[in-house]
A and B are shown apart, each in its own frame.
Chain A
Amino acid sequence: MPSKSDHELVPVHELMSDKEAKEVLESLKVSIENLPKILESDPQAKKLEAKPGQIIRIHRREGKHDMFYYRVVIGE
């Protein structure tokens, strides 16, 4: 798991490999265009040097539970 983020409001972002991304899409039974989006120019996406079409896994903490959220990188 990637290291801690630099601000309380920013959860950990992790760039996923194409293989992992495919597995996640299959297990969630969604197509890539139905995922929430993140802009390529987003400060966190820039940090990971993400390219459009890749998926970023976000390590969220909701109440007492850890969970994953996924965003697909899109161009402007």
Chain B
Amino acid sequence: MAEKNNKKYFVEYGEPVGIIAAQSVGEPGTQMILRSFHLAGIESTVATSGLPRIIELVDAKKKPSTPVTYIYLDQKISKNFDRASEMLKKINEVRMSNLARRALENFSKGKIKIVLDKQELESEGLTIRQVAARIEKDMGLDAQPVENGVIVNMHTRNLKEIRNTKIAIMKMLVSGVDGAGKATVRRDDDTGEFYLVSAGSNIEGIMQIDGIDKSKTTTNDVFAVYRLFGIEAARNSLAVELKKTLKEQKISVDERHLNLIADAMTASGSVKGVGRHGLSGEKRSVFARAAYEETLKHLVHAAAFGETDKMRGVTENILVGKQIPIGTGSVKLAIKKEDMSKVMPKK
């Protein structure tokens, strides 16, 4: 009984699932906002939404225009707001230029003085002594903490060297994770647990920190997921992101269509876009490629290299006016090679 019911939901043989998926996503897509806009407010991390986001996903862009990482915390920490906020300090990317009010170079004495902003220091939970120690450790320089900042003694009067060192110090990472961006604490209204949202996608770096739930932390950067977890995770990430984007716009598309798109994009073992340089550009049929984009390029290439077209797809058969291999059209009469000899008398 269960099996009989189950069969009802199977796709019939010859059903053009790809075309149906494309139409099912395409039609509601016309109702989406065409341009992502930003709302004024306290939310610091606004992910791209609507059509621009869908295009980004489907074209398999290497970097999302607004990377976001959702950092989930260990159970002990996630219940407590104060402890969750403490985690921020470990993650928030703080560079010297965020802390320094100004940097003064003394070329005649060969010294650089960095005046630090007390308020900024306090909010990041850092002390001048710590900053000086960090410069000594990371840059291998002679740094002395003073009342309102740090003095770096260069022991040289080479102008170029002093200027380059100053620039390097200002770019230096003082605390947090490289490429993690600025994080904020959020509360899940259903479970009451706190989690962090950061405007970066260095998920590899974030995973190194203690106190993070490594099995849940994710990012909207599909390629970051691909590098860290592999192709299957990238496929799931793609499907999840597509579903999330459509849901935000209150558009309901059956998730199997979106799963199919994600499957097709990851079938080659790496994440490929659907456009000219991806799925459409790699079709086997010459005519199908020529009918899509860059007609001459494909025809000339095919002529020069003697490509064959087996006329098995939809596009090329429409092109020549033949029945398309879909549904009942996909049935063909065939005979096995071994059986051929039985029918045809040998000469």
- Identify the A interface with B (CB < 8 A): 6-11, 13, 36-39, 42-45, 58, 62-63, 69, 71, 74
Contact = CB atoms under 8 A, between A and B. Distances in A.
Interface in B100-150: none
A45 B232 CA distance: 10
Contacts of A74: 269
Interface string B225-269: 101111111001100100000000000000110010001001111
A37 B232 contact: no
B233 A63 contact: no
A58 B266 CA distance: 14
A62 to B, nearest CB: 7
A4 B225 CA distance: 18
Given A7-B216, A36-B263, 7 more contacts: A10-B230, A10-B236, A13-B232, A37-B268, A39-B269, A39-B270, A74-B269
Interface residues of B, number: 24
Contacts of A39: 231, 269-270
A6 B267 contact: no
Contacts of B255: 63
Contacts, number: 63
Chief secondary structure at chain B's binding surface:
helix
A4 to B, nearest CB: 9
22 contacts: A6-B214, A6-B215, A7-B214, A8-B215, A9-B229, A9-B232, A10-B230, A11-B236, A36-B266, A36-B269, A37-B268, A39-B231, A39-B269, A39-B270, A42-B269, A43-B230, A44-B229, A44-B231, A45-B230, A62-B256, A71-B231, A74-B269
A38 B225 CA distance: 15
B2 to A, nearest CB: 12
Given A6-B214, A37-B269, A62-B259, A11 B231 contact: no
Interface of B: 214-216, 218, 225, 227-233, 236-237, 240, 255-256, 259, 263, 266-270
A7 B233 contact: yes
Given A42-B231, A62-B259, A63-B255, A9 B236 contact: yes
Query: What are the 5 A-B residue pairs with the smallest beta carbon separation, nearest first?
Result: A37-B269, A9-B233, A44-B230, A42-B230, A36-B267
A50 to B, nearest CB: 11
B269 A9 contact: no
Which of A7, A11, A36 has the most chain B CB atoms inside 10 A of its CB? A7
B94 to A, nearest CB: 28
